[in-house]
Amino acid sequence: MAKNSKTESAEKTAARSDKNTSEKKSKSADKKTTVKKSVAKSADGTKTTKKAEQSAIVEAHERAVPVTKKNGVLSAVIGIAALAVILGLLIWAFISAFTDKVFVPLNVEGNGRAGATQHFTLTRQDTMHLTEGEEINWYVDGVKVQGDVYKSDGSYEFDYIFPKAGKYRVRVDIGNRLSRTSDVEVGEPLLEVTADNLVVVYGDSIPKLTYTANGMDWELEPHGISVNVTCDCGNKPCVGTYPITVSVEGCESRVTEGTLEIVPRPLKIEGLSRQYDGTTKVDAASVVLDVIRGDDLRVESLSVKCKDVGNQPIDISSVVLGGKSKDNYVIEGGSVEITPKPLYLKGLQAQNKMYDGTKNVTVVGTAHLEGVVEGDNVTVGGYTAQFSDADGGTNKSVRITDITLVGKDKDNYTVKGDTFTQADVTKSFWDVLDGAVHGQKTQ
């Protein structure tokens, strides 16, 4: 019974302890509720600010998560690519170690058509593992067509003309470890033909028409291909432009026409001469031209560039041609020799004199020139006059020589020959007697 009493007492003590604990929790909860209510009532603004801050933190976190994911994806892709490269190198190294040859694609240049040269090349990297004397062999569909021996300073190329359209395999064995190949699909031949332009002078024979062909590097005729170049211009085409046509038989082609241009035949005016007349005009009727037999051509008018004496060039712009063939010619140059105009000296007269044993004579009057072109500036600058001999006599000839001209136009003139006049030379009685005594002729 005593034992039961103790047990009951312990149970009562435990019950009181649980009740106290429950009351404490209840009071603590009430206090927290009271504090929260107080905060809500007294600091409503502060509570709102905290909520905004929390919301911003949440949004920033949400944005950061996709970026992190993207960076992770990119890193994964890069890693995979790096592993692929490493794996490829390991495979290549494995094949190099345990097989005879490594096959690498071969580069080719060309238009990919039959009949045209296709160009295959090796780079320095292709041959860097070779040593002097190793072979480089080229094959087309398994048939060897070219062999080279490697030299460190050489370049290795292969040109090949495929005979017809189709698929081909080109392979090059570089030493005994590496091969490069190229599967080439060759199209039908295409010949590009351009007619060559021609320029021919009117009246000259027309040369053989020619053309320039591209796209084929073999002889055309042995492969049944022909090219015809024609021009419908007649045997003696006049000045103008005529089309040159091209036709191709035996293959697909692309043609470009050319032109035949007939240009005027150039002529020069030469061998003309005329006397100075103060103008630049030239008598066109005196012009003789070297034209093609049967052509009708004449010069209707022309002038020189300068009116003065000398070899004066033709003024091309002044030339006017006439006749049915005039459009087929052009005057490209020439000259006319202009000679001085002769003048005559007038107005001088010799005076009679008494015999003095000399040829001296006195001339009087005003000298003037006959034949000067109106408006020109030229006059007599000086002259010399004397009797033809020193003897006496009547109507003795007086010769006027060494006539000089002055004035800006003086070079365009000349005085025609010497001028003559007459005068008497009278001897005195004593002169006559002296002549008789000494046996001299007296007059």
| Sign of CA pseudo-dihedral 90, 93, 97, 99 | positive
pLDDT confidence bin for 73, thresholds 50/70/90: low
- The pLDDT tens digits of the residues spanning 301-328 come to 999 999 999 999 999 999 999 999 999 9
Q: pTM of whole model > 0.75?
A: no
Domain residue ranges of the chain, discontinuous segments joined by +: 1-39, 43-99, 102-186, 194-262, 265-339, 341-437
Q: For position 225, what pLDDT does the model report?
A: 92
* Arithmetic mean of pLDDT, 52-58: 57
Per-residue model confidence as pLDDT tens digits over 335-393:
999 999 999 988 888 888 888 888 888 888 888 899 999 999 999 998 888 888 888 88
**CB burial of residue 244 (10 Å; 0-12, 13-18, 19+):** buried
- Tokens 């209840």, located at residue: 26
| Rg of the chain over all Cα atoms, to the nearest angstrom | 61
CATH topology of domain 102-186: Immunoglobulin-like (2.60.40)
β-pair type (117-121, 341-350):
unpaired
pLDDT tier at 422, thresholds 50, 70, 90 = confident
pLDDT of 417: 65
Per the DSSP assignment, residues forming a β-bridge with 344 are 370
Residue 408 tokens, joined? 């800006």
425 versus 217: the higher-pLDDT residue is 217
Q: Where are the alpha helices (DSSP H) in 199-330?
A: none
Band (pLDDT 50/70/90 cuts) for residue 39 is: very low
Q: What is the band of 90 on the pLDDT scale with cuts at 50, 70, 90?
A: low
Judge whether residue 25 has pLDDT over 50.
Answer: no
Report how far residue 316's alpha carbon sits from residue 313's, in angstroms, rounded to the nearest whole number.
9
